[in-house]
Amino acid sequence: MDFITGIKDLDELYPNMLRTGFLVVVAGPPGSGKTSLASLICSSNAYNGKKCLYISFQEDKEKFYTIMNLLGLNLPSLEEKGYFKYLKLPITKDVDSLMDELRRVIMDYNPRIIVVDSVNAILQYVKDEDKRAWLQNFFSQLPILINGIAVLIAEHKPGTHTLGLGDIEFIADVLLFLEYRVRRGFLSRFLQIRKARGSRVHISEVPFAIREKVGIRVLVPEVIRRIRSVPKMYRGESTLFNKSLGYIQAGEHILVLHPTYARMPWYLLPIIETVVLNNLKVLGISYHYSPDEMRFLIKRLLVSETGISAEVAEKIIDRHFILEALNPYGYSLEELALEEKELVDLYKPDVIAFHAVELLDPLVESDKALYYNLLVNQVYSFKRQGVITLRIMGVLSRKRVLRETALADIVIRVMLRKKDISSPRIYFWRRGARPYVVILDENMLKNVQKELRAILTRHVR
């Protein structure tokens, strides 16, 4: 690829979108993230040894550097190495003098990327049609002049369908449009690829977020033909594991269903056994409990249901579990999915376990299409990375269960019998295999406890 956007997932999806000689327009309403995106394009390529000249008509250099530093862009460092130059030019009606100064700087600095922030600041003062046409022609020739790319930032007025900048949006080789929408009082941002010459744009809109110290992150839908199962199998030693699951493959999606009032998670024992024996790392995300509460509950489960000591239980948690908590009602659905993706990117777990998934139910009902679009792409993304997905959900509605199970590779369902709720019936279904049923009565539980206590104690030193 000639140039990159600096957004890893977007560059993988469209590796040749930014090519030498291309004019790129980044457009959108105020506050949509245009400057952040243009700065990321600029700095990412500068880190690859391509000089970038950033021209601003309004923002002070120190203020700009401070804001970009909050997004993780160390522009002073690039400036010291000679790969970044910030130039603030005055807004003037004297276009000729302005262009002469710009040519001089370009000849002296010899950049491969030029960012103009923003093009509206120049064009709005040029009323003469011939001069506007000459100015637009100058911008269109900039990429050829520097043998690189030019990025023009353009303000878009809400409620209009064009940028109102003459032919610039039409002569652009790449048009990236940023916008935001408000749902449930939360801001959702979207990046639209409205035009990209030479690239087959099959996904034209992706959600994105601007994160402190991280920058711009996007949620690119998975292309299913790219998904490959990671050839790695995890096995257990206990009779319960071998009869119920047999193995767990890297990237499999496991759905656990239980009555909302069933409070003892026996069904997790085969999963925890797999984690310990195969030395896996689990990222646990609860939509209901704090990390401290989750730690307490996991410890209590291990001690009470396997009979291991509290010390051994603590070691298992410390070695294998990273615990996080998210309030799903504190985010838009897109932001929630991005937050979860960032946690996976940060911790790089072998297993990600979502607890109390039933609490998402009102959000699901408010926008089913969006929820399942995000869910399917999340599962496919983790499958491609070889991350096992475990979703633990209390059963609230039959329709929700049917939709969730359609995506699962393994379904574990806990059923309580009215005559004897102390002996739950647990069903293990693997796709393409017959279900295995466990009636967890007192005798079965004692056998499970004895076997798991021996296995876990032996493997935890």
pTM of the model: 0.85
Q: Are 26 and 151 in contact (CB under 8 A)?
A: yes
Whole-number pLDDT of residue 13? 87
| Inter-residue contact 282 to 353 (CB < 8 Å) | yes
Instruction: Give the model's pLDDT for residue 58.
Output: 83
Q: Determine the residue type at 197.
A: R
Q: Which CATH superfamily is domain 226-459 in?
A: P-loop containing nucleotide triphosphate hydrolases (3.40.50.300)
Query: Which residues of the chain form CATH 3.40.50.300?
Result: 8-220, 226-459
The residue with tokens 């279900």 is 435
The per-residue pLDDT string of the chain (461 residues; one tens digit each, 9 = 90 and over) reads 689 999 998 998 888 899 999 999 999 988 889 999 999 999 999 999 999 999 998 889 999 999 999 999 999 999 999 999 999 988 766 777 878 888 899 999 999 999 998 888 777 766 667 777 777 788 889 999 999 999 999 987 665 555 555 567 788 999 999 998 888 788 889 999 999 998 888 888 999 998 888 889 998 887 766 666 667 999 999 988 898 899 999 999 999 999 988 777 877 888 999 999 999 999 999 999 999 999 999 999 999 888 899 999 999 999 999 999 999 999 999 999 999 999 999 999 999 999 999 999 999 998 999 999 999 999 999 998 999 999 999 998 888 999 999 999 999 999 887 666 667 888 999 988 888 998 877 888 888 888 988 999 888 87
Q: Which among 230, 258, 221 has a CA at the least distance from the CA of 379?
A: 221
Closest CA to 305 of 240, 254, 391: 240
The one-letter code for the residue type at 399 is K
Distance of CA 144 to the CA centre of its chain: 35
Domain 8-220: what homologous superfamily?
P-loop containing nucleotide triphosphate hydrolases (3.40.50.300)
Q: Supply the DSSP symbol for 432.
A: T
Query: What pLDDT is stored for residue 421 in this prediction?
Result: 66
Task: Write the DSSP string, 152-173.
Answer: EEEE--TT-SS-SSTTHHHH-S
